[in-house]
Amino acid sequence: MRVNLRKLRQLIIFFAHHNAVKPLGKTKLFKLLYFADVTHIQTMGEPITGVEYRKFPFGPVPTQGDFALKELQLHRLISQKRISLPNGYFMREFTALQEPDMTIFTAQEIKTIHYVIQEYGKDTASVLSWKSHQEYAWLFAEEGMPLQLASDKPSTKSNNKNAAAIAWVEQWYATPDDQPPEYWDELEEEIKRHPINFGDEDFGL
């Protein structure tokens, strides 16, 4: 499918403009783009932007992502600044300098984009990276190679089985590090009691 760079640029501006996803660094931005495209593939059979995603350690990365970011910064449509995080680390946050042009998106695309905001907007970059690692396309791709995005969804039965496991892992990611040892022991036991089910596929292990 042909890449729609105009939609890619405006989708980046949309995420960088939306308060629900802040703070927004590159890792989180790239994962939100991925989930917007893959969600639209699953519901409508085609992506929003048409960009190619490749497998990297922190999850899917859009091949044209860095180019679009540099172009938007060059034209002063988004800005990037270094901010400190509560855990003592630093990140480079993207902020939109204008409102996105949503007229270029279809009604269904806008519905998908808002769904992604609601479903993934509050997640940290670490949580989104972990979630992207559970995607079939990422699991079966070779490092650095393109992901084969498909419209087939995992079964609802499998999703329900994994819901509790994902919830516990998300809690682990979201919990501050300054917890007593017994807290982590209990949380580890809960995670062990809720293993993730990958279905009946042969992973060639």
| 191 falls within a domain | no
Mean pLDDT of 133-140: 86
The reported pLDDT for the residue numbered 135 is: 87
| 27 falls within a domain | yes
Cα distance between residue 148 and residue 154, in whole Å: 15
- Model confidence pLDDT, tens digit, residues 68-98: 999 999 999 999 998 887 777 778 899 999 9
* Inter-axis angle of helices 26-44 and 125-132, nearest 10: 40
The reported pLDDT for the residue numbered 40 is: 95
| 180 falls within a domain | no
Say if residue 184's pLDDT is above 90.
no
pTM score: 0.74
Q: What is the DSSP string of the chain?
A: ----HHHHHHHHHHHHH-GGG-S--HHHHHHHHHHHHHHHHHHHSS-SS---EEEETTEEEETTHHHHHHHHHHTTSEEEEEEE-TTS-EEEEEEESS---GGGS-HHHHHHHHHHHHHHTTS-HHHHHHHHTTSHHHHTSPTTSBP---SPPPPHHHHHHHHHHHHHHHHHHHS-S---HHHHHHHHHHHHHSPPP-TT-----
| 174 falls within a domain | no
Mean pLDDT of 134-158: 74
Cα distance between residue 51 and residue 34, in whole Å: 9
| 83 falls within a domain | yes
Residue that is written with structure tokens 């022991």 in the block = 185
| 172 falls within a domain | no
The reported pLDDT for the residue numbered 58 is: 86
Say if residue 157's pLDDT is above 50.
no
147, two tokens? 């992901």
The reported pLDDT for the residue numbered 107 is: 96
| 20 falls within a domain | yes
The reported pLDDT for the residue numbered 156 is: 39
Say if residue 163's pLDDT is above 80.
no
- pLDDT confidence tier of residue 21, bands split at 50, 70 and 90: very high
| 162 falls within a domain | no
The reported pLDDT for the residue numbered 164 is: 54
The closest alpha carbon to 105, from 9, 202, 1, belongs to 9
- Model confidence pLDDT, tens digit, residues 106-128: 999 999 999 999 999 999 888 99
Domain region containing 13:
5-153
- Model confidence pLDDT, tens digit, residues 26-48: 999 999 999 999 999 999 999 99
What is the count of structural domains for the chain? 1
| Contact present, 54 and 82 (Cβ < 8 Å) | no
Say if residue 153's pLDDT is above 60.
no
